[in-house]
Amino acid sequence: FPSSSLDTILFFSDQGKVYSEKAYQIPDAGRTARGLPMVNILALKRGETITAAAAVPDFGEAKFCIMCTRKGRIKRVSLSQFESVRPSGLIAISLEDDDVLGWARLTSGDDEVIVVTEMGQALRYHESNVRDMGRQAMGVIAIRLAQGDFVTGMSVVDPEGDLLVVTQNGFGKRTPLKDYPTKGRAT
């Protein structure tokens, strides 16, 4: 993602924590360079991995951060709650023991999101269907999952964009997002 030297980058871990680092603190590297392990940049716990990142040029520009877990929980939090993250990180979302945070996106307050599952289900709805919550909250149900199904992706909808779905066996399908009607969030 593009960033300027003044951007703050928010890093979200599978354990539901958020870390913050200024873009200029992350070392530059060439296209073919290996890069640095994130544990050398952030104070991650053993076994904790980064699952999402978002560049924040200005905390007043984006209003919310919307997060989704693998077991279908979604949460929307005011971005201002992540303005001052301590080096050890902050809890961004409370998780059940067998769940992980997979996706985090910045929104304007008037965006739509789409949630897609491993079994090919997709649900698109306006972000206002997810109320603004505090940092410690667990979130609400994003999509009803069938037995053995999990969320495989969540993104902010670009009304003129397409959704590319690729199966485990390598089959791909690109569909205009306008073909996915806006519905209500699962309750």
Cα–Cα nearest to 112, from 17, 178, 60: 178
Cα 23 from Cα 44, distance rounded (Å): 18
Q: Report the first-to-last Cα separation within the chain, whole angstroms.
A: 33
Bridge partner list, 165: 173
pTM for the model: 0.87
- Angle CA 62–1–69, to nearest 5: 65
H-state helical runs in the chain: none
Average pLDDT of the residues of the chain: 89
Mean pLDDT of 64-84: 93
pLDDT of residue 145: 93
Looking at the chain, how many residues does it have?
187
Q: How many CA atoms lie within 13 A of 13 on its CB side?
A: 21
Q: Which two tokens stand for residue 154?
A: 């969540």
| Per-residue pLDDT band at 5 (split at 50, 70, 90) | very low
Residue 37 Cα to chain centre, angstroms:
20
